[in-house]
Amino acid sequence: MRFDDIAPPIIKTKNKRAKNRVSFPFSKCTDFFERIFYEGVNAMKQLNDIETRVLELISHNADRPTSCEYIANIVGITERTTKKVINSLILKGVPILGGRGVDGKKSGYYIPRTEEERQDGLRSFTNQIKEMIKRQKALEAIDLTTWRNEEDE
């Protein structure tokens, strides 16, 4: 069963804060919440309202991840806040991975259905961590008093 098969449809509405926003019919989510609950969310720590709304929108299909921009627009939060909420969900036990949009794949967030999908997502994440560590070491090695002089040479 796919996420898209059980999630309620999205409705396009007008919103005071933004023109032509789309909204998610949260009042029609009974089946959706029950299925999510029985598929593992019951084991997680208590989710707040925004975490619940973000979780409802995350795809269960690695080939069709949900973009950060889409989640932010539907929930009515910034992309930065969306990323913080997703981090909070991960720390509470939700296995959310992010696709980087390489090799013809769409970028966005998804919940892996198989160990292979998890490993693919973790591989991308691990590579990002390695690059960040290289950047950190390079920054730590730069002499702050002489770097401009070296640039002029």
Six-digit token string for 5: 């098969």
Would strands 97-100 and 11-12 be described as parallel, antiparallel, or unpaired?
A: unpaired
What mean pLDDT comes out for the span 71-76? 96
The yes-or-no verdict on residue 43 having pLDDT over 90 is no
Strand partners, 66: 109
Cα-based distances in Å from 24 to 56, 57, 61, 76, 101: 9, 9, 19, 11, 25
* Model pLDDT, residue 1: 44
How many structural domains does the chain have?
A: 1
* Whether the predicted pLDDT of 88 surpasses 80: yes
Q: Virtual CA dihedral for 129, 135, 137, 138, nearest 10 degrees?
A: 160
User: Could you give the C-alpha distances from 38 to 29, 114, 144, in angstroms and in order?
Assistant: 14, 18, 55
Instruction: Return the pLDDT at 103.
Output: 63
User: For residue 75, what is the domain's CATH number?
Assistant: 1.10.10.10
Average pLDDT of span 38-43: 50
Tell whether the model's pLDDT for residue 57 goes beyond 80: yes
Host domain of residue 13: 3-152
pLDDT for res 125: 85
Taking residues 78-95, what's their average pLDDT?
A: 96
Q: Tell me the whole-structure pTM to 2 decimals.
A: 0.63
pLDDT tens for 105-136 read 678 999 999 999 999 889 888 998 999 999 99
Contacts (Cβ under 8 Å, ≥6 apart) of 17: 76
What pLDDT, on a 0 to 100 scale, did the predictor assign at position 64?
A: 92
According to the model, what pLDDT value does residue 153 have?
A: 59
CB 97 within 8 A of CB 86: no
